Copies of this chain bind each other. A is one copy, B any other.
Amino acid sequence: MTTPRIPGRRFLHSPGPTPLPDAVLHAMSVQPMDLGDPRVDANIDACESGLKRLLHTDASELFLYASNGHGVWEAVIDNLAAPGQALLVPGTGHFSESWAVQAEALGRRVVRTPWREGWPIDAAAVEQALRDDRSHDIQAVLAVHTDTASGVTSDIAALRRAIDDARHPALLVADVVASLAAAPFAMDALGVDVALGASQKGLMCPPGVGFIAVNGKALAVAQRCPAPRFYWDWERRRSDLSYRKFCGTAPQNLLFGLEAALSLIFSEGLEAVWARHARLAGAVQAAVAGWREGGALDFFARDAASRSVSVTTIAVGPGIDVDALRGVARERFQVAIAGGLGPLTGRAFRIGHLGDSNPAVILGALAGVEAALRVLGVPVGGGGVQRAVQFLAAAD
Return A88 CB to nearest CB of chain B, in Å: 18
- Chain A positions 331 through 369: 1 when the CB is less than 8 Å from some CB of chain B, otherwise 0: 011111111000000000000000011111111111110
Contact B231 A67 (CB under 8 A): yes
Task: Determine which of B12, B358, B364, B365 lies in contact with A33 in the assembled complex, contact meaning CB atoms within 8 Å.
Answer: B12
* A367 nearest in chain B by CB position: B363
Contact B68 A254 (CB under 8 A): no
Q: Is A318 positioned at the interface, with any CB of B under 8 Å from its CB?
A: no
Q: A83-B228, A370-B389, A371-B393 are in contact. Are A22 and B30 (CB under 8 A)?
A: yes
Stretch binding the partner chain, chosen from A36-44, A129-137, A292-300: A36-44
* A330 nearest in chain B by CB position: B37
- Chain A positions 378 through 394: 1 when the CB is less than 8 Å from some CB of chain B, otherwise 0: 00000101101110110
Which chain A residues in 268-318 approach chain B with CB under 8 Å?
268, 273, 276
Return A349 CB to nearest CB of chain B, in Å: 10
Contact B264 A5 (CB under 8 A): yes
Task: Determine which of B29, B207, B231, B247 lies in contact with A28 in the assembled complex, contact meaning CB atoms within 8 Å.
Answer: B29
A43–B207 alpha-carbon span in the complex (Å):
15
- Residues on B with beta carbons closer than 8 Å to the beta carbon of A206: 28, 32, 251-254
Stretch binding the partner chain, chosen from A55-63, A102-110, A153-161: A102-110
A5–B270 alpha-carbon span in the complex (Å):
12
Task: Determine which of B102, B207, B367, B375 lies in contact with A364 in the assembled complex, contact meaning CB atoms within 8 Å.
Answer: B367
A250–B67 alpha-carbon span in the complex (Å):
9
Return A5 CB to nearest CB of chain B, in Å: 4
Q: Is A20 positioned at the interface, with any CB of B under 8 Å from its CB?
A: yes
Q: Is A248 positioned at the interface, with any CB of B under 8 Å from its CB?
A: yes
Q: A36-B338, A370-B389 are in contact. Are A208 and B66 (CB under 8 A)?
A: yes
Q: Is A224 positioned at the interface, with any CB of B under 8 Å from its CB?
A: no
A357–B360 alpha-carbon span in the complex (Å):
14
Contact A230 B102 (CB under 8 A): yes
Return A156 CB to nearest CB of chain B, in Å: 22
- Residues on B with beta carbons closer than 8 Å to the beta carbon of A20: 31-32, 253
Return A249 CB to nearest CB of chain B, in Å: 4
Contact B336 A363 (CB under 8 A): no
- Residues on B with beta carbons closer than 8 Å to the beta carbon of A18: 32
Q: Is A19 positioned at the interface, with any CB of B under 8 Å from its CB?
A: yes
Return A22 CB to nearest CB of chain B, in Å: 5
Contact A361 B364 (CB under 8 A): yes
Between-chain CB contacts (< 8 Å), 26 pairs: A1-B46, A6-B358, A7-B357, A10-B33, A10-B37, A10-B358, A11-B360, A17-B249, A22-B30, A28-B206, A29-B29, A32-B200, A66-B71, A68-B249, A69-B249, A71-B231, A105-B233, A106-B230, A200-B249, A206-B252, A253-B254, A360-B368, A363-B371, A371-B392, A375-B393, A383-B386
